[in-house]
Structure formats: structure tokens, C-alpha cells
Amino acid sequence: MTRTHRSLLALAGLTLVLGACSGDEPEDEAPTTITPPPPTAEDRLEQAHDVLAEAGSVHLSLVGADLPEDENSYIISAEGDGTMVPPAFTGTITARLSGIQADVPTVALDDELWVKLPYVPAHVRTDPADLGVPDPAALLDPETGLVGLLQEIQTPEFGERARVGAEAVQEVVGTLPGQVVTDLLYAGDASSDFDVVFGLVEDTWQVRTVEITGLFYPPATSTYTVTMDAYGEPVTVTKP
């Protein structure tokens, strides 16, 4: 064998050795990206709960639908401004009182309610139970008011995407125990569940609407819809 042949064989052997060595080294693996699961309806309700609880104040309107005409006293609608700490409300309630519909200027503060009834020149202090209406300040309590309903909803699921004015909202649907509803609104069959639809503004996750349907005045099925906006804007409520 010539020197040239021996050199070629040696070179070939070296190449095989290097190739085998390089094959033993693991190739660099691309980093694994774990995509988190999409937010659930419960996740969005938790976000909305925190946003509303931290708002401090809101503008609130409430409208009833399919209300029975044979009932003596109930809320038809309400509109005003409120704070959460302390829970307080100032605005106007439209109600049926002893069979008569009236617009009632209302102030609720420190667990006290003042109303200006028709043909009465000034606000008078009264008990919500005497009028058959809820304390509007109770709706704004940061733990047991409308905020609390977000944690009481049962079997929440995503509903439709809708619009409230110019805003896109994601609906979350479910049910509320009757006792929770009656404790808050002073009306309803405590033994019956109520259907609820929360309208949550996409991106900010503000609660824009709360629609509750059920046996508020059995056997009639009625609906109350609450709309909240102006989160965190200055509100002052004083006793009249």
C-alpha cells in the first residue's frame, strides 16, 4: 500500500470518527411555548367584580319590564348617582305607591332613606319597608350589593356578544338564588331561582348591565335591568 493510500484511509477514518462524535451531540431544541387557556366566564366575572368594587362611585339606572298592574307598590324605574363607601344614593325613583305612580326624589345614606312624596314640600325620612321598595343605597354596597351578585351567579357561561350604545359587551349568563335577589331588591319569590345576564364591557371589563328575570311578583315573570356607567366620577350625597 502506498503512502498516498494510507493517508486517504486515515483521513476517511478520521471523518467517520468525527461524524460519529457529532451525531452523539443533541441538536438544539426550539423553546416550547405554552399557550395559556382562554379566560373562562368565571375569570371574566372575577375581573368585573374587582373593577366594580374599586370604582368608588357610579351612575345607575334601573328599569322594570312586564310588571303586574295589580300590584300595589313596586319600583318602576330609578336613576341617580351613588357611592360605595359609604353606600349612598341620590336621584329619582319612579314607583307605584298605594296604586298611584309617582316620581319620588330620593336620598339614601347611613342606612336612612329620605323621599319627597307627591304634595309634600320637603324630603321626609321613611322606612323602605313601609313603601314596599328597596333601599337604593343597598344596591351600591361593595360587598352585598350588585357587586356581590357577580360572586353569587350559578353555572355561569358566556352568552352573546352585544352592543350597549357604542360599546361592545360580552354577556355572561347564569342563575341567581331567589334569596339573594329578594334580600337585595325586597321583592321576589325567595324559593325560586332568577335568570341573570351580565353585560361586561370588553377590554375594561366594567359591568355595564345587569338583567334579572324571574318571579318578582308571582305568578308574573318580570325583569329588572340595571345599567351602570360613569365609574369613579365624583359624587357627593348629603342628607336633605
Condensed to tens digits (0 to 9), the pLDDT of residues 200-229 reads 999 999 999 999 999 999 999 999 999 999
Evaluate if residue 94 carries a pLDDT over 70: yes
pLDDT at residue 148 is higher than 90: yes
The residues spanned by each domain of the chain are: 41-229
Contact 89, 239 (CB under 8 A): no
**Mean pLDDT of the region 21-29:** 55
Q: What is the mean pLDDT of the chain?
A: 87
pLDDT of residue 24: 52
Q: What is the CATH number of domain 41-229?
A: 2.50.20.20
pLDDT in tens, 53-82: 999 999 999 999 999 988 888 899 999 999
C-alpha cell at 136: 337604593
Please give the backbone phi and psi of residue 29, each rounded to the nearest 5 degrees, phi first. Answer: -95, 145
Q: Give the confidence band of 100 by pLDDT, cuts at 50, 70, 90.
A: confident
Burial of 100-129, coded b for 16+ CB within 10 Å and e otherwise, reads eebebebbbbeeebbbbeeeeeebeeeebe
**Geometric angle at alpha carbon 142, from 139 and 145, rounded to 5°:** 30
- Which helix or strand (DSSP H or E) is residue 163 part of? strand 154-164
